[in-house]
Chains A and B, each alone.
Chain A
Amino acid sequence: DAGVIQSPRHEVTEMGQEVTLRCKPISGHNSLFWYRQTMMRGLELLIYFNNNVPIDDSGMPEDRFSAKMPNASFSTLKIQPSEPRDSAVYFCASSLARLSYEQYFGPGTRLTVT
Chain B
Amino acid sequence: EDKVVQSPLSLVVHEGDTVTLNCSYEVTNFRSLLWYKQEKKAPTFLFMLTSSGIEKKSGRLSSILDKKELFSILNITATQTGDSAVYLCAVNSGGSNYKLTFGKGTLLTVNP
Complex CA–CA separation, A99 to B102 (angstroms): 17
* Residue among A33, A43, A50, A104 with most chain B CB within 10 A: A43
For B, the interface residue count at a CB cutoff of 8 angstroms equals: 21
Give the distance to chain B from A17, nearest Cβ to Cβ, in Å: 25
Q: Write out the residue numbers on chain A whose beta carbons fall within 8 Å of the beta carbon of B98.
A: 31, 33, 48, 50, 55-56, 95, 100-101
Known contacts A42-B102, A101-B48, A101-B92; A106 and B97 CB within 8 A of each other: no
The answer to whether B48 and A103 touch across the interface, beta carbons within 8 angstroms, is no
Complex CA–CA separation, A43 to B42 (angstroms): 11
Q: Write out the residue numbers on chain B whose beta carbons fall within 8 Å of the beta carbon of A98.
A: 97
Q: Kindly report which residue of chain B lies nearest to residue A43, judged by CB atoms.
A: B102
* A14 contacts the other chain (CB 8 A): no
* Residue among A31, A103, A108 with most chain B CB within 10 A: A103
Q: Kindly report which residue of chain A lies nearest to residue B94, judged by CB atoms.
A: A56
Complex CA–CA separation, A19 to B100 (angstroms): 26
Main secondary structure of the interface of B (DSSP, over half): strand
Binary A-proximity of B31-72 (CB < 8 A = 1, otherwise 0) = 110100000011111001000000000000000000000000
The answer to whether A42 and B42 touch across the interface, beta carbons within 8 angstroms, is no
Q: Kindly report which residue of chain B lies nearest to residue A3, judged by CB atoms.
A: B42
The answer to whether B43 and A43 touch across the interface, beta carbons within 8 angstroms, is yes
Task: Give the bracket for the number of chain A residues in contact with chain B.
Answer: 20 to 34
The answer to whether B48 and A100 touch across the interface, beta carbons within 8 angstroms, is no
Q: Write out the residue numbers on chain B whose beta carbons fall within 8 Å of the beta carbon of A43.
A: 43, 88, 90, 102
- Within 89-112 of B, Cβ neighbours of A (below 8 Å) are at 90, 92, 96-100, 102-105
Query: Ordered nearest first, which 9 A-B pairs have the shortest CB separation?
Result: A100-B98, A105-B42, A43-B102, A42-B104, A101-B92, A107-B41, A100-B97, A105-B43, A107-B42
